[in-house]
Amino acid sequence: MKRSQKDIEDSARVVGRRAIVMGGLFLGTAGVLAARMRYLQVERADDFRLLAEENRINIRLLPPERGLIFDRNGVLLAGNEQNYRITLVREDADDVDAVLEELGRIVNLDLVAIERAREEIARRPPFVPVTVADRLSWEELSSVAVNAPALPGVNPEVGLSRFYPLGADFAHVVGYVGPVSDYYIEQTGDTDPVLQIPDFQVGRYNVEARMESALRGRAGTKQVEVNAAGREMRELDRDPATAGSDVQLTIDAGLQNYVEARLSGESAGSVVIDCESGEILALASAPTFDPNLFVRGISQTQWTTLNEDRYRPLANKATQGLYPPGSTYKMIVALAALEAGVIEPSEEIGCTGHIELGDRRFHCWRRTGHGRVDLVEAISQSCDVYFYDLAQRVGIEAITAMALRLGCGIRHDLPLSGIAEGLAPTMQWKRENRGSDWVVGDTLNASIGQGFVLTSPLQLAIMTARIATGRAVEPGIVRSIDGVRERRGTAPALGIAPENLALVHRAMWQVNNDRRGTAFESRVMEDAYLIAGKTGTSQVRNITTAEREAGVIANEDLPWERRDHALYVGYAPFEAPRYAVSVVVEHGGGGAAVAAPIARDILLRAQLGTIPPLELYPVSQRRDIEELHRRLPILAEPPVPSGRATGPRDTERDRT
């Protein structure tokens, strides 16, 4: 049927409209696609470029070099040494067990090491490197590098590990570092990403721990290109790590070595302090231990040996040990009484060997008594009865106030672990902690440094320095950080009358230099090095009436743990005090016989800077002293300064 012209025109109009609609749809679709392509290729180009880069580029942390620790003369106390190790990244290894087995054949890993590595790999996120082998030789590291294509996910690395060149001498000052543990992170709340670096070491004890933020430094990063198997192809960019700060301590390495040697064989603590500046020159605890054991991974046998030793080598007796101060506390009682004006210096008190208080008898250490003695004689001869009488007049509150003024019963702020506060008791303290009222007998016990009174060797050294100078000397153990000296101004005066201090000074001089003084056997034979001090003996057991009547059992006849503690505090030279020392020997017996000779040697070594010559000792003692010094484990050569601690980074600025 032939279509009419009108039908043809209508059909053409319909087709035209449809073509226009379809063309519009195609053009719209093309426009949308073009706009989307422009959005993805232009506006989101940086985002997609980053996603692509992440598929072939890894960002890895660079561990910072830990800051070094030096003594006051630049002797290295804590350094870093190269450590070759092998790490494995789980997500880059095709088959972890197969890789470990192959690696074990190359570097001779034992089954225990492989199992330990498996446990650590399973515990860590798949992208975190885990150390499989540590402290390898260069030959072993090279063998792993040569076999790298057959060990996917394995990376030979050169890192740094802490080491302590002077070993045991500084374990109780510098401390040690150890690997990061989950417990450490939980306790500290530290979220620094650097802690995820395999075998990264953090401070665990003493200066290493307390100055962790300064010593750690800041991690760097590097961008490396990797292939499909995760193997590193090349380094693209690097932001270097920032090394930790170098710390210089006030400790003298030579003196520290001598003190540790002089305490060897004992369970003891000693502190030497500069009387003027308060800088701690030596802080020793015996026996000690090698901190390198903890860095390299201490064995169970070594740990058990240290932990079960009855002399407690892991405890820092100089700062953590608390002991009844015995008669070294008598200077505190004397100054409290003099300042309160309850006694005249020339007043004498009779000692018959004991006093009666109610139905109880308080004894003097000398069974027959001292007769009539004044304050100077009471200190130099250590008459207990004199101080029993004095304490009743002055009272415990004034005694404790003086103890606090002289630095006892206070936790001193030093970057050391577990510094003990000690105890200078008051009436209120006993009510709150013992649930009973203070009685006069408590005061009498406190007057001779027994009862509730507890002090540390650190506190006793500070007390002695304050008595020697009349100033509130504050202890310090950090000399500089990155060459910036710590500011140590002149200590303020204690506010104690000079004439009262002079009286105590004279009494302490007589302790060592008067024939009736308790430490006369530990005198020095040259005026320029004269020592003033005070002996102390603190009981650790009760002596019954029956034992006193039969005769008190000598210390050497008792089991070691029931013997008295031996103490001594002193300063030198007498005319111009420069050094103060405290010595506590656990269960050592009498302070005069055991602690005083040690303290004399330490003070002479501090003054002279070398082993004391025999001419400074009484003639009758010289042969024994010579033999003693021959046997002591003293360094044959003094430690050599490294030069870095006092090098170009030193500055005249003070750190506030």
Q: Round to whole Å and give the CA distance between 380 and 386.
A: 12
Backbone angles phi, psi at 357, to 5 degrees: -135, 105
Strand partners, 356: 361
Q: Round to whole Å and give the CA distance between 88 and 198.
A: 10
- Which CA distances in Å does 77 have to 81, 207, 219, 647? 13, 11, 23, 16
Which sign, positive or negative, has the C-alpha torsion 464, 469, 471, 474?
Answer: negative
Length of the chain measured in residues: 656
Q: Which amino acid is at 334?
A: A
| Beta pairing class for 232-239 and 247-249 | unpaired
Six-digit token string for 389:
């009488």
Q: Round to whole Å and give the CA distance between 397 and 428.
A: 10
CB 320 within 8 A of CB 381: no
SS3 517: coil
Q: Which residues form the catalytic set? A: 327
Q: Round to whole Å and give the CA distance between 485 and 246.
A: 12
Q: Round to whole Å and give the CA distance between 506 and 346.
A: 13
Q: Round to whole Å and give the CA distance between 72 and 124.
A: 42
Backbone angles phi, psi at 395, to 5 degrees: 85, 155
Six-digit token string for 31:
């426009």
